[in-house]
């Protein structure tokens, strides 16, 4: 069983969802057909209920990284600001840089959510980017800290990288202009779909950016996307199977209930946390308990983590190694809705045998 931080284990029901789509030839429909419009509208409706999204528009892309790039291309003329607390936050910053913009950043010590100085956001920074759950370091930000920054800079567009955070972490969309995620982490699906959520403030900004750059009608421009979105279509032939299956996975989670999913996430986390606290081989990488992610847990290992990964693999469990410079000293464990409490007990049992 995959306890990786993404891609991870896939909901067993997903197999039937894909089979159903193949058997009923749903995946052969054209993206401008009525059949597709129905799939699109159902998935959008389910997502809006599940994640409590008020009026935002939802655009489908290929991955979380593509969402970052689309945001940089559509929402800024020159300047983005990034709160970086790990490698994914740094990737977002670098994409802005690579496109010839002038990004600036405040960087925390990796493994902590405490940013070093008073956050100095410039008057001409156009968007402020946060990584709600930094998968690389196992640090989750407090949503209230994000909202406090929003209060100080009400004119800026707030962007949240919510990959690996949703659906456990709730995003208060009344205060968040833009958020994105990909499905292979918290949604128990195969990779290949990025979901970008934008409000009218973003759409207004995208228009002015596009006008300046003369890109108003390009396929990947948010304006073109919005026109299509409002017809329950997309600008190009998207990953129709994944869009269809995502709608059904949302339904699955709605049936179970998000409260129950959240309670179970906390229960599984507590089991693991309890085990780590009593172990002399494993310890938390993230020092402050309040910074520790409930969905992606970074664990220091006393000996080479590749040994731990191998031993677990031989017992039937796949976990992630550490990210970047922590590759050999950590394992990372995914705690997503797809993982049951009994699965976690089995994993902890295997860890305790090490
Ligand atoms: C995985 C991940 C990404 C990148 O998403 P892809 O779908 O792999 O491109 C971005 N941010 C965070 C926090 C992630 O965990």
Q: Strand pairing of 320-321 and 330-334?
A: antiparallel
Quick check: CB of 195 below 6 Å from ligand 1? no
Q: What is the pLDDT along the chain (354 residues), one digit of tens a residue?
A: 999 999 999 999 999 999 999 999 999 999 999 999 999 999 999 999 999 999 999 999 999 999 999 999 999 999 999 999 999 999 999 999 999 999 999 999 999 998 876 788 999 999 999 999 999 999 999 999 999 999 999 999 999 999 999 999 999 999 999 999 999 999 999 999 999 999 999 999 999 999 887 777 788 999 999 999 999 999 999 999 999 999 999 999 999 999 999 999 999 999 999 999 999 999 999 999 999 999 999 999 999 999 999 999 999 999 999 999 999 999 999 999 999 999 999 999 999 999
User: 13-255, which class in CATH?
Assistant: alpha beta
Quick check: CB of 43 below 6 Å from ligand 1? no
Q: Where are the domains of the chain?
A: 13-255, 257-353
CATH topology for 257-353 is: 3.90.1150
Quick check: CB of 88 below 6 Å from ligand 1? yes
Ligand 1, atom 2: nearest CA belongs to which residue? 163
Quick check: CB of 64 below 6 Å from ligand 1? yes
Determine the straight-line distance between the first and last CA of the chain, rounded to whole angstroms. Answer: 17
Please identify, by atom number, the ligand 1 atom nearest to the C-alpha of residue 136.
15
Please identify, by atom number, the ligand 1 atom nearest to the C-alpha of residue 6.
1
How far is the centre of ligand 1, averaged over its atoms, from the C-alpha of 310 (Å)? 25
How far is the centre of ligand 1, averaged over its atoms, from the C-alpha of 286 (Å)? 20
């Amino acid at each position: 069983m995959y306890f990786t931080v993404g891609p991870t284990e896939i909901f067993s029901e997903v197999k039937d969802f894909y089979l159903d789509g193949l058997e009923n030839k749903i995946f052969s429909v054209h993206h401008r057909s009525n059949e597709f419009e129905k799939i699109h509208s159902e998935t959008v409706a389910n997502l809006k209920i599940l994640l409590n999204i008020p009026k935002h528009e939802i655009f489908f892309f290929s991955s979380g990284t593509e969402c970052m790039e689309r945001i940089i291309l559509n929402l800024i003329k020159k300047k983005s600001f990034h709160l970086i607390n790990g490698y994914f936050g740094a990737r977002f910053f670098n994409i802005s840089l690579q496109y010839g913009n002038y990004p600036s950043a405040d960087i925390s010590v990796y493994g902590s959510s405490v940013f070093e100085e008073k956050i100095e956001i410039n008057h001409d920074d156009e968007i402020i980017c946060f990584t709600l759950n930094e998968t690389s370091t196992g640090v989750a930000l407090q949503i209230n800290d994000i909202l406090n920054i929003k209060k100080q800079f009400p004119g800026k567009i707030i962007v949240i990288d919510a990959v690996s955070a949703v659906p456990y972490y709730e995003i208060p969309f009344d205060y968040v202009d833009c958020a994105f995620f990909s499905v292979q982490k918290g949604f128990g699906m195969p990779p290949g779909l990025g979901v970008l959520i934008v409000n009218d403030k973003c759409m207004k900004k995208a228009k002015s950016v596009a006008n300046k750059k003369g890109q108003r009608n390009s396929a990947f421009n948010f304006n073109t996307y919005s026109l299509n979105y409002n017809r329950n279509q997309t600008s190009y032939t998207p990953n129709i199977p994944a869009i269809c299956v995502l709608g059904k996975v949302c339904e699955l989670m709605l049936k179970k209930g998000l409260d129950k999913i959240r309670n179970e996430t906390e229960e599984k986390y507590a089991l693991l946390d309890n085990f780590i606290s009593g172990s002399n081989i494993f310890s938390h990488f993230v020092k402050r308990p309040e910074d520790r992610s409930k969905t992606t847990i970074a664990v220091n290992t006393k000996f080479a983590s590749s040994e731990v990964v191998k031993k677990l693999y031989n017992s039937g469990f796949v976990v992630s190694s550490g990210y970047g410079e922590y590759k050999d000293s950590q394992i990372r464990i995914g705690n997503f809705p797809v993982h049951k409490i009994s699965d976690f007990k089995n994993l902890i049992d295997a860890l305790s045998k090490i």
